[in-house]
């Protein structure tokens, strides 16, 4: 009776060992040395886009005293503290985005839309219905795609115009001479 469990265990171990062995073709490289990682093509500055405008300049633009970085990726977020309370600032840079697609999405949300130009590029400003404390600006990016800034002040607090702040942040982003 003891032989059956031992035989089954031996078969299980042999089967697992056979399934774990494999050969991978190529040359092993130390971490960080791959040339594929360094050659992003059109996405070479991914994760650096959140630095398009310096943190202290973002805080100053929205009337804040201090700033804390939040999530970074395709969408970058900051919390800015100041006289108007906590202000939420969001930036996006979609390399393959288009103004037409962003505008269509904004229209579906029934936001108020105003056509504007920033640094000679087509852009639009948008505000959610019944939310005078928030505003966004979307414009063509310096290379390809679109950039967007959103400024959301605390409801009911005295604060600067969120649309003026969003436009200024977009101007700073698109000002390639700074």
> Given a cut of 50, is residue 36 above it in pLDDT?
no
Domain presence at residue 1: no
Q: Left, alpha or beta for 120 (phi > 0: left; psi -120 to 50: alpha)?
A: left
- Residue 25, pLDDT above cutoff 80: no
Domain assignment present for 9: no
- Provide CB contacts within 8 A for 15, sequence distance 6+: none
Average pLDDT over residues 60-89: 91
Sequence-distant (≥ 6) Cβ neighbours of residue 38 within 8 angstroms = none
Band (pLDDT 50/70/90 cuts) for residue 157 is: confident
CATH number of the domain enclosing 88:
3.40.1000
* Total count of domains within the chain: 1
29, part of any domain: no
Q: What pLDDT shows up at residue 120?
A: 86
Q: Is residue 148 part of a domain?
A: yes
Of 146, 154, 147, residue with least CA distance to 169? 147
Instruction: Say if residue 92's pLDDT is above 60.
Output: yes
Q: What residue has token string 């056979």?
A: 18
| 22 is a domain residue | no
Q: How far is CA 50 from CA 33, 39, 101, 143, in A?
A: 25, 20, 22, 15
Q: Where is pLDDT greater, at 48 or 98? A: 98
CB of 123 within 8 A of CB of 166?
no
Q: Pull the structure tokens for residue 66.
A: 């201090």
The answer to the question of residue 61 being in a domain is yes
E strand residue ranges, the chain: 66-69, 75-82, 85-94, 112-118, 121-127, 134-140, 146-152
Looking at residue 51, its pLDDT comes to: 86
Any domain includes 115: yes
Query: What is the pLDDT, as a whole number, of residue 114?
Result: 97
The pLDDT score that the predictor gives to residue 40 is 44
Average pLDDT over residues 6-28: 57
* Residues near 129 by beta carbon (within 8 Å), at least 6 away in sequence: 110, 111, 112
Q: Which domain holds residue 72?
A: 45-174
| 120 belongs to a structural domain | yes
37, pLDDT greater than 50: no
Residue that wins the pLDDT comparison between 27 and 172: 172
Whether pTM exceeds 0.95: no
Tokens of residue 151, six digits: 């400024």
């Amino acid at each position: 009776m003891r032989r059956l469990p031992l035989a089954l265990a031996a078969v299980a171990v042999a089967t697992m060992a056979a399934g774990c062995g494999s050969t991978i073709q190529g040359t092993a490289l130390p971490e960080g040395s791959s040339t594929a990682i360094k050659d992003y093509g059109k996405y070479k500055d991914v994760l650096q886009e959140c630095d398009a405008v310096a943190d202290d300049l973002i805080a100053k633009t929205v009337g804040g005293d201090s700033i804390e970085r939040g999530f970074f990726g395709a969408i970058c977020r900051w919390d800015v503290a100041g006289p108007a309370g906590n202000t939420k600032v969001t930036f996006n840079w979609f390399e393959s985005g288009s103004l037409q697609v962003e505008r269509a999405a904004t229209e579906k949300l029934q936001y108020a839309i105003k056509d504007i130009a920033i640094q000679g590029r087509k852009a639009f400003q948008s505000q959610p219905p019944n939310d005078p404390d928030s505003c966004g600006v979307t414009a063509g990016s310096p290379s390809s795609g679109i950039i967007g800034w959103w400024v959301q002040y605390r409801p009911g607090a005295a604060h600067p115009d969120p649309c003026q702040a969003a436009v200024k942040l977009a101007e700073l982003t698109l000002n390639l001479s700074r």
